[in-house]
Structure 1
Amino acid sequence: MQEQPIVIWGAGAMGGTIAAYLIRAKKPVILVDNNPVHVNEINLNGLKISGPIDNITVTAKAFLPEHLNSHFSKPFDTIFLCTKALHTESACYMIAPFLDEDGCVLSVQNGLNELTISKILGEKRTVGCFVNFGADILEAGHIHYAGRGAVVVGELSGQNTERLQKLHALMQLFEPNAITTDKIFSFLWGKLAYGALLFASALTNESIVDILAAPQYRNVLIALGKEVCCVAKALNIPLEGFNGFEPLAFMANSSIEESEKSMDAMVKFNQNSAKTHSGIWRDLAIHKRKTEVNQQLGVIVEKAKEVGVPTPLLKAIISGITAIEDGQPLSLKNLDRVAALVN
């Protein structure tokens, strides 16, 4: 019996990189992306991965969403959703006709997209995923895989299911150190805390390392991390650490020494990556498009309201990012305005 294809919905930096490794491992893969130039280039010349980790080109089949129906008559049982968080809802409605009743969507995204996916497609058809590797699209059909990072998959129910083991095995083809978890939201919230620091760095033109290592911004970054962790604690969500981020270092009663140690560890992790700036910065500085700020930091602020936790720094970051989306230049002054709230 022929193995059913794995659908990678969103062939950008994350989806494209994972897809290339699955294809190299001889897995049947179908790429779906809404960029016709990217789709055409992949079909004509293959999907190219370059960088310090690997330099490979794989033959791949890519489709625009509107063309899937004319090529495939049966629904799929495994779809990796790899779009930006702001496109999750619309992508789910497009995916719905192509997802088998007993199939699942794996959310390979940043944020709490699993909540949106489960509302539209059903909790039983939703599987959580956390990733922290570095990759960027350089041009159509070409992705720069800049640095390895944590990869975690987990059922929303926390159960260790057969499908979870299959998804884990697939992810190990990409990242051998990928793990499963019975508390996927602990990792997703941990990434939100770390992601808040990346949003702070994206207010400027400086690199991730330069901002995380800068002594003058340590106070605001630590306070920002504590803000997110305080919300998670109020929601009774224990956080999991990864790649230098240690949640216990960002609790309300954490010592400055603990916080500094974790900050230094995050600096070291990012120094080992060829990815100098976040995807958020690329959205603002290069692509000139909306970021995921409302779908990530905005969600935290909304959850904070529910539990009565103040989030002045998160709100200031959101305002700063929104201003840049509206045309304000990237500058250290943007981060200075946030830092002034602490200092």
Structure 2
Amino acid sequence: MKIAVMGAGAVGCYYGAKLAQRGHDVVLIGRPNHVQAINKNGLVFESGGIVETVRLAASIDPAAVTGADIVLFCVKSTDTESAGAAIAPHLAEDAIVLSLQNGVDNAERLSALIGRVVLPAVVYVAVGMAGDGHVAHFGRGELVIGPGAQSDRIADSFGPAGIPVEISGNAPGALWAKMILNCAYNALSAVSRLPYGELAKGEGVMTVIENVVAECLAVANGIGVSVPGDIQAAVAGIIKTMPAQYSSTAQDLMRGKPSEIDYLNGYIVRQGGALGVPTPANQVLYTMVKLLEMRAEQQTGT
């Protein structure tokens, strides 16, 4: 199949590389320097101690989604509307659009913009950009999506490419479960500039995480979302499965880029306020990251 990746950051490059290795026709749509490096040298794909070069197309033009059977929408939550508007005129009528983004409302926001169903996917992968045209994979790589004919097609295509796909009857709950993990770790990793394994050793850190998770669950309950599984065990498991991973929020701040904190802890704070659910732990983490962003803006003069 032809697969377009809108937003060729770490997540988009990882899944694009895996699918290209399986023989799918993949095009990555991203930043000029990144695209130039890929078109010149291929995508350097580092995983499990093995470094490979994956040959695939790359473009800076959103029109590159033209004719794609599947579009993996991997932009930051802050760019959902602008990127969605950019690809909307070029989408094939029967294209499957899959949102591989943090947060719980991106698929809904994108769907309203482009006028078609967008499937939300929960992403569990530890990846980072090691430079232009170079993606490094540290662990995991599975997706969780809701049921449907399109979901079956995705699972059938992605599985042979080494991308496990779980089809869940509670997709909203699965999205919330992932967001709770993000709320628990992302801001703390960003503020400390530590990976998850080191972060968890800090005095009082696990107590803060427990408070954040409890607030998130209270907000989810207030909205009427049932979060599946043992979320406390999942939170603890991140330390074991991704000990060397820095959060995406930390990676953004270390590069001087805006983060997605408004759609993570900030979202919990806003929803908690609307519901009358106290969210002090999330509020503190949200405020700390916003202060770091403000400092970065002052230092760069933007």
Give the TM-score normalised by structure 1: 0.80
Task: Find the aligned partners of 2:70 and 2:165 in 1 and give their Cα distance.
Answer: 18
The offset of 1:303, in angstroms, is 2.0
Match of 1:125 in 2: 117
Give yes or no for the alignment of 1:325 onto 2:297.
Answer: no
Match of 2:94 in 1: 102
Relative to structure 1, is the Cα distance of residues 77 and 25 closer, same or farther in structure 2, using a 3 angstrom cutoff? closer
Report if the CA contact (8 A) 2:25-2:56 is conserved: no
Match of 1:202 in 2: 190
Q: How do residues 121-200 of structure 1 correspond to structure 2 at under 5 angstroms?
A: 121-122=114-115, 124-154=116-146, 160-198=147-185, 199-200=187-188
SS at match of 1:95: helix
Give yes or no for the alignment of 1:269 onto 2:237.
Answer: no
Report if the CA contact (8 A) 1:54-1:145 is conserved: no
The offset of 1:168, in angstroms, is 1.6
Q: How do residues 4-153 of structure 1 correspond to structure 2 at under 5 angstroms?
A: 5-33=2-30, 35-52=31-48, 54-65=50-61, 68=63, 75-112=67-104, 113-122=106-115, 124-153=116-145
Query: Which of 252, 260, 263 is residue 283 of structure 1 equivalent to?
Result: 252
Code of the aligned partner of 2:237: A
The offset of 1:54, in angstroms, is 4.3
Task: Find the aligned partners of 1:102 and 1:119 in 2 and give their Cα distance.
Answer: 17
Give the TM-score normalised by structure 2: 0.90
Code of the aligned partner of 1:268: K
Larger radius of gyration: 1
Aligned residues: 294
**Gap regions ≥5 residues in structure 2:** 297-302
The offset of 1:177, in angstroms, is 3.1
List per-residue Cα deviations over 1:266-288 (Å, max 9, x = no partner): 322223xxx43212111112x11
Tell me the percent identity: 26
SS at match of 1:11: coil
Report if the CA contact (8 A) 2:70-2:97 is conserved: yes
Report if the CA contact (8 A) 2:174-2:227 is conserved: yes
**Gap regions ≥5 residues in structure 1:** 155-159, 250-260, 329-343
